[in-house]
Chains A and B, each alone.
Chain A
Amino acid sequence: MSLKLTDVSLSGIARDRLHEINLALTKPGLVGVIGANGAGKSSLLKVIAGLEKVAHGEVVVGGKRLSDLNSKQRAALLSYLPQNEQAQWDITVTELLAIGLLQHSLGKQQRAQRLQKWLNYCDLTGLAERRLSTLSGGERQRAFLARALISEPQLLLCDEPTAALDIQHQLQTLKLLKEQSRAGRLVVCSLHDLSLAARYCDRLILIEEGKLLATGAPASVLTDTNLARAFSVSAEWFCHSSGVAWIPQPLSEGD
């Protein structure tokens, strides 16, 4: 699976929400989109998902121009999980996962097998008949993620999948996304926690005011210069065998 953005711009009211983004992701992996609030992370994911019409440029997913695909062809390639997904009606976990298969023509047996596979995979078997209102925040997020994965897309887009989760569920969610990337999918997700992004992501995309500031391996993106420019902070990094951690400090005057 490959993803290529060429000169992509998205109009906004005061300024372009995205401005001339050029990006090429050629291998499966977990890719983190980072940046300050309002930098354009969600807009970038929506453009890739085909939910926002670009003012300029083109998006190519799996070698096909997104603008040439109809809505069903697009849905067969990619899946999108928005930030803070909510269910309007209090359905069960199984019923939620089945929504992810509504546009797929599967036989009754195949459908049941697919449901069981993703219930097992996302550790939801014991919660299958529970209503969403009875689940914890972490369990609910896992169920929404399973809904996005059940169509078995080549490209998975998640907008802040760890937002509002406690640390245990943040780790569980990122582990699940990492496993999916190892299974051959391209997973692109926006993240706020830079330590977790550095630890789990194969590649980072740093956005500042709608422009691509840096992209590459976490160590090459999370430099002092980039952090100062994108977040107006300086950082002290600590390395450990299981990952890295950082302590951010506001930039002092003169920095």
Chain B
Amino acid sequence: MNILRAASAGTLESSDALVMVSPGEGELAIDIESVVLPQFGAVIRQAVEEVAREMGVTAGIVRVNDRGALECTLRARVETALLRGTEAGT
């Protein structure tokens, strides 16, 4: 699946994450900002990569602004943003 349009999911509330996706060439670029970056930066990146892989998204840009979301929340926000930005969203 390819990201066809800019889309987002989530909020900047504490314990949530705002995920923004947009089309892009080449490999999937993942940009992560987080209030818990030192503690959970690596696992946040891993979660985003896994969700993208499971959905077959291999190109484009995913920006995560994480306010301390639990992993289940984060995965749901990434999945929703990708659905909204890909064919599946049409």
Q: A and B: partners?
A: no
